[in-house]
């Protein structure tokens, strides 16, 4: 940071826990989450907001956290992949991805999970077209997407039967 | 050994109700913390199975739990007896109930007595263990007795079968199903500055979506078995990719890269960069040239004379060529400082095409004096004679396989630490051990000074072999920075410039001889590969393709003049289907073009030419192990509904629509014979292949396995544990495979890695060999301990956990005890058993011979997996956009070890092929500017553009692997073949012959408008 940079205090709640930090105004939200808070489940796969590996949920909206500055998230409530597991128990969506082989290397998976969670929150019974449309901003280079679609469908079914 | 515990708790339920639960074994037993299952022996006695264990040694123990005393409503007393780990235990627990304040005070006592060997397992640790387990029992008892639990029980009675599962459902439901209301959400404090861009009128919608997220997040959770061993960490955000590794005190490296494709470096000024606060140091090419040796070149002279350092020294050779490294306290400071570095260039003429490179008018590497890195002729059979006797000769002027990349989502990255003891640690995402052989000589260090390790890798697809120059540079940076860790994480834009793309290939002057039936008898062609600015792993690609020389076809007479050049484009690296994929595409194009010219349908011409006997020795001595192309074609036709599509195609054509059907047959050759590298350079000291695995019973008897691969999503932990578990008669939960690679595990060889579709053969053979070895050791020990004959022993799980036992009896010895004999109790062993370590290493070596270098003849790979794809594509005649209407894949990779993983690999390989065929290309302009400099330009295939794949498989076991499996991870890129074929078929009445592997709308438009077409002719006699 250059000497003249002023730090800005921000407060965010991430996965239910409140954090107060002083950040550079230029710090990206994804860098804040990864490097400042040490929550490295959210990944960076490109520089142009194309890949979606950094997708998180901010105040109920899915966002690519490389497109927001940390200071823009001041006062917000954030959910990252680390917030899906509760007390050591996996969310049905996480289980569905594993059981349907919806991940291989796992690098895109956190973003996929967050986008899928938001999809299912809005639409408990999505058809394949809905899934394709909603996940079009998340790139996976391993699975060819077939099993990601299957995973989301399986999660939807399991959540509906809940 | 005796242990006593006691305590009391109060519960808000009448004493009678508490007693009712406590005095019912059927209700009490499931409260045991590790309860597994139970059966009621009689009214008072339950036989229950519980899991008992210390650390990793977990056994299922049968306990007989009897209600010995029941004095309503005052007292209940249970006695539990069981066997565990070659010992016996008894637990007496009693409960005395007193009425207090409308509730009940439960006073409890537990006495545990242990006899036998279990005591020696953990000794004093057992008291703590037992206390913890008893506390858990009491806690679950308290929870079960709570009024809420009782209420929930009544409510849920109709819904669930078991009492215990109802309880679990309720316990989980109580706090998890609570919906966070807006009032609970903390608002931003009034005086804090908010940069959030949300307009006030969106607040209601926002609250609704927040509630929806909270609601779904709080869904019920039920434990289920996961798909792969790797998954848990990856779905919870606990994976450890290179950038996730953040050791304290880490510094960050940012690179200054060339904006020009070809230029002399006149001067570099780093003074302003070094003056910026937070900058530790900089490194320039000049310094690198002084401190390091140029990287080893694989090719023979003159390409061996190329001087390749980790930074450009006096000349840049592609856009993005790194010139200066800036090391700073944060990545932002490093990036700021990199912008302050001033470089003066003098631009040079640029070489972009193979044709220009071959002219050598502008030479990239002066010491080599030529752009040609390799040239050789592959000649088999009697080509001239076959052409003389041919009925038809098809001539194809030029075919071109384009540059693209599988673009793993995680880019190249490394954290390097060159500490003051001169040890170099690389936490990185390279994918084989070859980089050690590149880095150690460059840095003038011994290979054992280098620790190379990986953890999770975010895909690689071959590309990350090209990471070693950056690893070398980061190590130098760490040394210069005083031994602190230096992290470098390539940005996506850097990757698009220089991160290692698949190479391009041109096929010139192809001539194909065919007999009267359309059977190809000979082929003549000249192939030129373009490997970018630095050869690095090349020119190995100049021989790798020869693994599949005749592709899937019977032709015996082949003459291919193969060469490779450097150009002013980013350096290439192996890319999924490395070198074979361009050749397979070429051969499939040849097949379809010949079919087109001679009027033979695509399926028919293949049936006339397919190899139909296995094992089959190709003209250059490769042995195709097994397969059945005809069966695959029939199956693929069935899967896609061939006849129906043929009908639909007629109809579409009648309507003026361009609908085409294309077949792609491909091979995925796996397990390299490294001796093929000597065909490139006879001085290379490489031959065959070796892969190592280690297995041990750890100090507590847990089964610990290391594989010497660098998995990136292929599920090696899962499949390796399957092999071990099957041999030992265990569940895979008992087998622990270390994540990633680490030279310090001493489980590698010089050719270890994840490449060339080989794990199912080499990796699993190594694991299998290791488990066989350790079984022999375990048998010897068990025979001694049990006073039994080795031949009378079997492996399995008993009441004491994983064990070796006398066949058909419960006389056994568990893994803990075996390990204990070796690790702690050596004196108990007779002299001849003291050598046993229960820590074994096995090296698998495939049965390869050295090839005949003169004739370029020999077996280059061990196994050949096959895929057959059929694509149905419609081309829009207004936009020339192709749409995949249907897609079928039949895969044959021999014996399938794990269907789920194999299908995942098939899908992934298909996605790369479809992406490359339809959208992905790395173009350059004539100045050598990278035109796809980001993902936004490159646009890797998305879920929206990916068609549904209809998959099936055939299984022809390989005779050359112990398990009948064939490596299959690379897939062979069949969509490139099938899409080119289908589009050619779609545009049949426009006279289009597809000559490029890339088929985006601009290309198709140019075919139709005759700008792209090069001559194809046929001579018939």
> What is the secondary structure of B618-654 as a DSSP string?
-TTS-EE----HHHHHHHHHHHHTHHHHHHHHHHHHH
For an interface test with B, the pick among A81, A105, A114, A145 (most B C-beta atoms closer than 10 Å) comes out as A105
Judge if A100 and A72 occupy the same domain. no
Q: Quickly count: other Cβ atoms within 10 Å of residue B223's Cβ.
A: 10
Work out the angle at residue B424's Cα, subtended by the Cα atoms of residues B423 and B428, and round it to the nearest 5 degrees: 150
Instruction: Give, for B719, the enclosing helix (H) or strand (E).
Output: helix B716-728
DSSP string, B256-325: EE-SSSSEEEEEEE-HHHHHSTTEEEEEEHHHHHHHSPPPPP-S-TTGGG----SS-SSEE-STT-EEEE
Nearest residue to B752 (alpha-carbon basis) of B665, B845, B887? B845
Judge if A68 and A16 occupy the same domain. yes
- Higher confidence at residue A54 or residue B66? A54
Percent of chain B with pLDDT over 90: 78
Q: Is B207 an 8 Å CB contact of chain A?
A: yes
Q: Name the residue facing B235 among A47, A77, A109 (closest C-beta).
A: A109
pLDDT at B541 over 90: yes
What's the total number of domains in chain A?
Answer: 2
Per-residue pLDDT at A57: 98
pLDDT at B195 over 50: no
Q: Are strands B658-672 and B691-697 parallel, antiparallel or unpaired?
A: unpaired
Per residue in B495-537, pLDDT tens? 999 999 999 999 999 999 999 999 999 999 999 999 999 999 9
Average pLDDT, chain B: 91
Judge if A132 and A105 occupy the same domain. yes
Alpha-carbon distance A136 to B680, whole Å?
A: 44
pLDDT at B146 over 90: no
Per-residue pLDDT at B902: 97
Q: Are strands B486-489 and B450-453 parallel, antiparallel or unpaired?
A: unpaired
**Averaged over B894-920, what is the pLDDT?**
97
In the block, residue with structure tokens 């700073």: B328
CB B973 within 8 Å of CB B989: no
Tokens of B252: 């960050």
Banded model confidence at residue A4, pLDDT cuts 50, 70, 90: low
Q: Where are the alpha helices (DSSP H) in B729-849?
A: 764-786, 815-823
**Averaged over B920-933, what is the pLDDT?**
97
Tokens of B199: 């307009």
Burial (CB count <10 Å: 0-12, 13-18, 19+), residue B349: exposed
Per-residue pLDDT at B155: 57
Nearest residue to B640 (alpha-carbon basis) of B613, B603, B609? B603
CB B740 within 8 Å of CB B455: yes
Judge if A131 and A67 occupy the same domain. no
**Averaged over B944-958, what is the pLDDT?**
97
Nearest residue to A78 (alpha-carbon basis) of B214, B183, B220? B214
Nearest residue to B264 (alpha-carbon basis) of B317, B186, B342? B317
Judge if A98 and A153 occupy the same domain. yes
Judge if A109 and A76 occupy the same domain. no
Alpha-carbon distance B35 to B31, whole Å?
A: 7
A contact residues 72-111, partner B, Cβ 8 Å cutoff: 72-77, 79-86, 89-92, 94-95, 97-101, 103-110
pLDDT at B131 over 80: no
Percent of chain A with pLDDT over 90: 96
First to last CA, chain B: 98
Per residue in A70-111, pLDDT tens? 999 999 999 999 999 999 999 999 999 999 999 999 999 999
Cβ separation of A135 and B336 shorter than 8 Å? no
End residue of a domain, out of A56, A83, A110: A83
Judge if A77 and A136 occupy the same domain. no
CB B297 within 8 Å of CB B304: yes
CB B513 within 8 Å of CB B396: no
DSSP string, B933-994: -SHHHH----TTTPPPPEEEE-----TTSTTSB---TTGGGHHHHHHHHHHHHHTGGGT---
End residue of a domain, out of A44, A64, A83: A83
Cβ burial B761-770 (10 Å sphere, 16+ → b, else e): bbbbbbbbbb
Tokens of B691: 């892969």
CA atoms within 13 A on the CB side of A124: 13
Judge if A69 and A105 occupy the same domain. no
Q: Name the residue facing A46 among B221, B238, B935 (closest C-beta).
A: B935
DSSP string, B17-70: HHHHHHT-HHHHGGGSTTEEEEEESSSSEEEEEEEEEETTEEEEEEEEEEEEEE
Judge if A56 and A25 occupy the same domain. yes
Judge if A56 and A26 occupy the same domain. yes
Tell whether pTM > 0.90.
no
**Averaged over B65-82, what is the pLDDT?**
88
Banded model confidence at residue B162, pLDDT cuts 50, 70, 90: very low
Which strand ranges, in their side-by-side order, compose the sheet holding A77-79?
Answer: A17-23, A8-14, A77-79, A55-58, A61-64
The residues, ordered by sequence, that sit 6+ positions from B706 with a Cβ below 8 Å of its Cβ are: B693, B694, B695, B737, B738, B745, B747
Give phi and psi for B696, each to the nearest 5.
-145, 155
End residue of a domain, out of A32, A57, A83: A83
Alpha-carbon distance B993 to B1012, whole Å?
A: 10
Q: Name the residue facing A147 among B220, B221, B904 (closest C-beta).
A: B904
Nearest residue to B434 (alpha-carbon basis) of B471, B459, B484? B471
Alpha-carbon distance B778 to B950, whole Å?
A: 46
**Averaged over B406-434, what is the pLDDT?**
97
ipTM (interface predicted TM): 0.98
Per-residue pLDDT at B159: 41
Which domain CATH number covers A121?
A: 1.10.150.120
pLDDT at B165 over 60: no
Tokens of B565: 């050049």
Per-residue pLDDT at B587: 98
Give the SS3 label for residue B433.
Answer: coil
Handedness of CA B589, B594, B596, B601 (dihedral sign): negative
Alpha-carbon distance B941 to B919, whole Å?
A: 7
Burial (CB count <10 Å: 0-12, 13-18, 19+), residue B846: buried
User: Which residues is B996 bridged to in the sheet?
Assistant: B400
Question: Which chain A residue is nearest to residue B406, measuring alpha carbons?
Answer: A141
Banded model confidence at residue B171, pLDDT cuts 50, 70, 90: very low
CA atoms within 13 A on the CB side of B470: 33
Q: Is B446 an 8 Å CB contact of chain A?
A: no
Instruction: Give, for B509, the enclosing helix (H) or strand (E).
Output: strand B504-514
pLDDT at B577 over 50: yes
B113-117, B536-540, B634-638: lowest mean pLDDT where?
A: B113-117
**Averaged over B800-805, what is the pLDDT?**
94
Per residue in B818-863, pLDDT tens? 999 999 999 999 999 999 999 999 999 999 999 999 999 999 999 9
For an interface test with A, the pick among B409, B912, B970 (most A C-beta atoms closer than 10 Å) comes out as B409
Banded model confidence at residue B191, pLDDT cuts 50, 70, 90: very low
Work out the angle at residue B232's Cα, subtended by the Cα atoms of residues B229 and B236, and round it to the nearest 5 degrees: 160
Q: Quickly count: other Cβ atoms within 10 Å of residue B882's Cβ.
A: 26
Distances (CA, A) of B1005 to B403, B920, B990, B994, B1012: 20, 17, 11, 12, 9
- Higher confidence at residue B65 or residue B440? B440
Alpha-carbon distance B774 to B776, whole Å?
A: 5
Per-residue pLDDT at B764: 96
Alpha-carbon distance B670 to B46, whole Å?
A: 55
Burial (CB count <10 Å: 0-12, 13-18, 19+), residue A48: middle
A125-129, B52-56, B766-770: lowest mean pLDDT where?
A: B52-56
**B65 to chain A, minimum CA–CA distance in Å?**
30
Q: Name the residue facing B458 among A26, A107, A147 (closest C-beta).
A: A107
With contacts defined as CB-CB under 8 Å, which chain A residues touch B278?
Answer: 1
B117-121, B662-666, B856-860, B994-998: lowest mean pLDDT where?
A: B117-121
Banded model confidence at residue B125, pLDDT cuts 50, 70, 90: low
**Averaged over B216-232, what is the pLDDT?**
95
3-state helix, strand, coil in chain B (%, to 5): 35, 30, 40
**A87 to chain B, minimum CA–CA distance in Å?**
10
Give phi and psi for B310, each to the nearest 5.
-75, -10
Q: Quickly count: other Cβ atoms within 10 Å of residue B33's Cβ.
A: 15
**A126 to chain B, minimum CA–CA distance in Å?**
15
B184-198, B287-301, B875-889: lowest mean pLDDT where?
A: B184-198
**Averaged over B371-389, what is the pLDDT?**
98
Most confident of B108-112, B948-952, B1012-1016: B948-952
- Higher confidence at residue B931 or residue B51? B931
Handedness of CA B352, B358, B362, B366 (dihedral sign): positive
- Higher confidence at residue B773 or residue B11? B773
Judge if A58 and A14 occupy the same domain. yes
**Averaged over B447-471, what is the pLDDT?**
97
**Averaged over A117-135, what is the pLDDT?**
97
Judge if A23 and A73 occupy the same domain. yes
Q: Tell me, what DSSP letter sits at residue B762?
A: I
Tokens of A65: 């956290």
For an interface test with A, the pick among B178, B184, B236 (most A C-beta atoms closer than 10 Å) comes out as B236
Alpha-carbon distance B970 to B876, whole Å?
A: 31
Q: Please give the residue range of the domain that contains residue A97.
A: 92-161
Per residue in A25-58, pLDDT tens? 999 999 999 999 999 999 999 999 999 999 999 9
């Amino acid at each position: 940071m250059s000497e003249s940079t002023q730090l800005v205090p921000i407060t965010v709640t991430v996965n239910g826990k409140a954090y107060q930090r002083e950040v550079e105004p230029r710090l990206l939200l994804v860098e804040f989450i990864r490097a400042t808070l040490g929550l490295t489940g959210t990944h960076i796969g490109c520089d142009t907001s194309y890949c979606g590996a950094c997708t998180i949920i901010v105040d109920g909206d899915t966002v690519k956290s490389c497109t927001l500055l940390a200071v823009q998230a001041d006062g917000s409530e954030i959910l990252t992949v680390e917030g899906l597991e509760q007390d050591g128990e996996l969310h049905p969506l996480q289980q569905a991805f594993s059981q349907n082989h919806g991940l291989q290397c796992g690098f895109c998976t956190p973003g996929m999970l967050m986008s899928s969670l938001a999809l299912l929150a809005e639409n408990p019974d999505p058809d394949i077209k809905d899934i394709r449309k909603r996940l079009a901003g998340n790139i996976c280079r391993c699975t060819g997407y077939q099993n990601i679609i299957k995973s989301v469908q399986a999660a939807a079914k399991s959540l509906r039967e809940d | 050994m005796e242990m006593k515990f006691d305590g009391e708790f109060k519960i808000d339920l009448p004493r009678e109700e508490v007693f009712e639960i406590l005095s019912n074994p059927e209700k009490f037993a499931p409260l045991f913390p590790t309860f597994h299952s139970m059966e009621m022996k009689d009214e008072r006695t339950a036989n229950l199975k519980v899991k008992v264990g210390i650390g990793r040694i977990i056994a299922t123990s049968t306990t007989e739990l009897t209600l010995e005393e029941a004095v309503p409503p005052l007292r209940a007393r249970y006695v539990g007896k069981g066997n565990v780990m070659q010992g016996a235990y008894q637990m007496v627990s009693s409960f005395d109930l007193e009425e207090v304040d409308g509730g009940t005070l439960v006073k409890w006592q537990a006495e545990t007595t242990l006899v036998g060997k279990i005591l020696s397992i953990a000794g004093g640790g057992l008291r703590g263990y037992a206390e913890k387990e008893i506390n858990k029992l009491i806690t679950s008892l308290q929870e079960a007795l709570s009024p809420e639990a009782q209420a929930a029980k009544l409510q849920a009675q109709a819904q669930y079968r078991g009492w215990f599962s109802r309880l679990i459902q309720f316990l989980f439901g109580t706090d998890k199903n609570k919906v966070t209301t807006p009032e609970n959400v903390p608002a931003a404090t009034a005086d804090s500055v908010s940069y959030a861009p949300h307009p006030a009128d969106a607040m209601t919608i926002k609250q609704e979506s927040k509630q929806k997220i909270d609601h779904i997040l709080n869904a019920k959770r039920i434990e289920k078995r996961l798909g792969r061993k790797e998954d848990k960490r990856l779905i919870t955000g606990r994976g450890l990719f290179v950038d996730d590794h953040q050791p304290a005190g880490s510094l960050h490296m940012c690179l200054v890269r060339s904006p020009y494709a070809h230029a002399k470096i006149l001067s570099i000024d780093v003074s302003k960069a070094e003056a910026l606060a937070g900058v530790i140091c900089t490194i320039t090419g000049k310094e690198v040239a002084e401190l390091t040796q140029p990287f080893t070149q694989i090719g023979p002279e003159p390409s061996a004379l190329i001087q390749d350092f980790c930074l450009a020294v006096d000349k840049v050779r592609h856009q993005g060529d790194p010139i200066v490294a800036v090391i700073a306290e944060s990545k932002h400071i490093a990036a700021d400082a990199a912008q302050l570095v001033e470089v003066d260039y003098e631009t040079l003429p640029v070489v972009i095409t193979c044709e220009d490179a071959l002219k050598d008018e502008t030479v990239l590497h002066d010491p080599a004096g030529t752009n040609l890195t390799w040239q050789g002729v592959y000649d088999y059979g009697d080509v001239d004679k076959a052409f003389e006797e041919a009925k038809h000769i098809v001539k194809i002027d030029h075919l071109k396989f384009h540059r693209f990349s599988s673009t793993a989502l995680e880019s190249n990255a490394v954290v390097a630490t060159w500490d003051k003891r001169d040890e170099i640690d690389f936490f990185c995402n390279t994918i084989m051990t070859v980089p050690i052989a590149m880095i150690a000589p460059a840095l003038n260090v011994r290979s054992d000074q280098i620790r190379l390790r990986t953890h999770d890798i975010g895909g690689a697809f071959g590309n990350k072999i090209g990471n070693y120059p950056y690893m070398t540079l980061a190590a130098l940076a760490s040394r210069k920075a005083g031994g602190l860790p230096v992290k470098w994480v390539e940005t996506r834009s850097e990757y698009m410039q220089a991160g290692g793309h698949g190479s391009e290939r041109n096929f010139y002057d192809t001539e194909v001889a065919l007999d009267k039936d359309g059977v190809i008898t000979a082929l003549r062609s000249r192939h030129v590969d373009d490997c970018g600015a630095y050869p690095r792993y090349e020119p190995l690609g100049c021989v790798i393709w020869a693994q599949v020389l005749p592709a899937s076809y019977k032709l015996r007479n082949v003459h291919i003049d193969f060469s490779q050049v450097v150009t002013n484009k980013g350096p290439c690296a192996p890319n999924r289907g490395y070198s074979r994929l361009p050749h397979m595409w070429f051969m499939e194009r040849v097949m379809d073009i010949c079919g087109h010219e001679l009027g033979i349908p695509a399926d028919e011409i293949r049936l006339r030419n397919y190899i139909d006997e296995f094992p089959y020795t190709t003209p250059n001595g490769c042995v195709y192990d097994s397969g059945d192309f005809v069966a695959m074609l029939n199956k693929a036709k069935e899967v896609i509904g061939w006849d129906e599509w043929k009908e639909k195609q007629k109809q579409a054509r009648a309507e003026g629509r361009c609908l085409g059907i294309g077949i792609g047959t491909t091979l995925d050759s796996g397990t390299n014979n490294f001796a093929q590298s000597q065909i490139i350079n006879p001085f290379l000291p490489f031959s065959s292949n070796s892969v190592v695995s280690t297995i041990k019973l750890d100090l507590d008897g847990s089964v610990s396995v290391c594989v010497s691969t660098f998995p990136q999503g292929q599920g090696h932990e899962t499949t390796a544990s399957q092999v071990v578990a099957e041999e030992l008669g265990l569940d895979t939960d008992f087998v622990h495979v270390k994540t990633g690679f680490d030279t310090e595990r001493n489980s590698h060889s010089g050719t270890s890695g994840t490449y060339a579709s080989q794990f199912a053969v080499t990796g699993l053979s190594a694991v299998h060999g290791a488990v066989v070895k350790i079984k022999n050791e375990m048998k010897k020990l068990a025979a001694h301990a049990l006073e039994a004959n080795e031949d009378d022993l079997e492996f399995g799980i008993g009441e004491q956990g994983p064990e070796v036992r006398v066949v058909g009896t419960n006389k056994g010895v568990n893994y803990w005890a075996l390990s204990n004999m070796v690790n702690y109790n050596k004196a108990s062993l007779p002299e001849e058993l003291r050598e046993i370590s229960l820590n074994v290493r096995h090296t698998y070596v495939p049965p390869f011979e050295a090839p005949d270098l003169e004739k370029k003849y020999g077996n280059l790979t061990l196994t050949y997996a096959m895929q057959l794809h059929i694509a149905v594509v419609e081309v829009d005649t207004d936009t020339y956009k192709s749409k995949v209407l249907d897609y079928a894949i039949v895969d044959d990779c021999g014996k399938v070890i794990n269907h789920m993983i194999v299908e995942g690999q098939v899908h992934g390989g298909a996605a790369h092929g479809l992406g490359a065929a339809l959208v992905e290309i790395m173009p350059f302009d004539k100045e050598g500017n990278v035109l796809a400099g980001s993902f936004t330009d490159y646009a890797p295939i998305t879920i929206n553009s990916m068609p549904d794949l209809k998959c099936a498989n055939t299984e022809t076991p390989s005779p050359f692997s112990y398990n009948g499996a064939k490596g299959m991870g690379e897939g062979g890129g069949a969509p490139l073949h099938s899409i080119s074929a289908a589009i050619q078929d779609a545009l049949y009445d426009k006279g289009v012959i597809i000559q490029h592997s890339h088929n985006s709308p601009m290309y198709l438009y140019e075919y139709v408008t005759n700008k792209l077409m090069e001559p194809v002719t046929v001579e018939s006699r």
